[in-house]
Amino acid sequence: MILNGADPQAVEQAADRLAAGELVAFPTETVYGLGARADDDAAVAKVFAAKGRPAEHPLIVHVSDTAAARRFAADWSPLAERDEQAPRASGTLEAHYATQAKLRLMPAAALRDALRVWADAQAAAAPAARATRGAPRLAVYSRTVRPPTAAGLVARTMPAAPRAAAYELFAVLRELDALGVALIWVESPPAGADWDGVRDRLQRAAAA
């Protein structure tokens, strides 16, 4: 059954199906999602069965507020405490996820130039200063640019496929934040409608 998402009655019908423990498919910015009541174990099991998803791969739980989120959280991390002050729902705020580090989005050529300048500055620094800096200061998330291997820099490769990039984006940003970096430099996604979702999320994160 296909329902019109712009029809309030259709939305109510979908909500009734969820309440009854059934599944509902819905569009997101990048892919279609399959939803069920997160507090209904049998309904959640239907999602795993329908998608053929391994039991050890967790699902995302969408909630309306912090109190609801805490109901499902086994542990409440410092990052969650930060997000609690500014909850972010896709498309409703200026930033979907605001990194603790300063995020800069730049084209491939500009990123290569910036990395070259950064590497020169690192090389010019006194060896003792480089050795005592501790946690990496710079993180790079790039698709075509290959950052140098250097102390103080951690790099992650953006998937070549837009769907895969969208799927992992916030997890990667949170991982880099957790490393304690001061800066996150991200290569701008390529032009094209397929990358619009990823581009929008990155622009919002950089604007935060």
* 86 or 168: which leads in pLDDT: 168
Tell me the pTM: 0.54
Lowest mean pLDDT: which of 9-13, 27-31, 136-140, 164-168?
27-31
**Phi then psi dihedrals of residue 25, to 5 deg:** -95, 145
CATH number of the domain located at residue range(s) 102-207 in this protein: 3.40.50
In percent, the amount of the chain with pLDDT more than 90 equals 25
Q: Name the packing angle between helices 162-178 and 196-207 (round to 10°).
A: 20
**Domain residue spans in the chain?**
8-84, 102-207
Q: What is the mean pLDDT of residues 115-132?
A: 71
